[in-house]
Amino acid sequence: MPKTAMIRARTEPTLKKAAENVFKKLGLTSTEAINLFYTQVKLHKGLPFEVKIPNEATLRTFEKTDREEDLVQCKDTDDMFKKLGLSSPS
């Protein structure tokens, strides 16, 4: 079927640029990404991801990380597993 329907939407320029940079890395045009999203909505009969309001603990964590507080820095995956108290898979 020919693609003749038009979609028009407004968004913030910085959001558009950031999203288009991701699409480019994935080898997609904006049109292809929109069609992919619409296809997934059709297949899922809804949004293809969970949408919910974060709870208070999550909001506090987002605020802290935005301020770069309580971040755990790891040298590599072995260091990350050690800090998590897990055995490294390597």
Three-state DSSP state, 10: coil
Enter the pTM of the model: 0.59
Confidence of residue 90 (pLDDT cuts 50, 70, 90): low
Q: pLDDT value at position 89?
A: 75
pLDDT number for residue 13? 97
Average pLDDT over residues 47-62: 93
Q: Hey, where are the domains in the chain? A: 1-50, 52-90
pLDDT of residue 2: 86
Report the top-level CATH class of 1-50.
mainly alpha
DSSP of 15-70: HHHHHHHHHHHHT--HHHHHHHHHHHHHHHTS-SS------HHHHHHHHHHHTT-S
- Please state the rounded mean pLDDT for residues 44-71: 94
CA-CA distance, 5 to 37, in Å (whole number)?
Answer: 15
Average of per-residue pLDDT across 49-59: 93
Residue 82, Cβ density class (10 Å: 0-12 exposed, 13-18 middle, ≥19 buried): middle
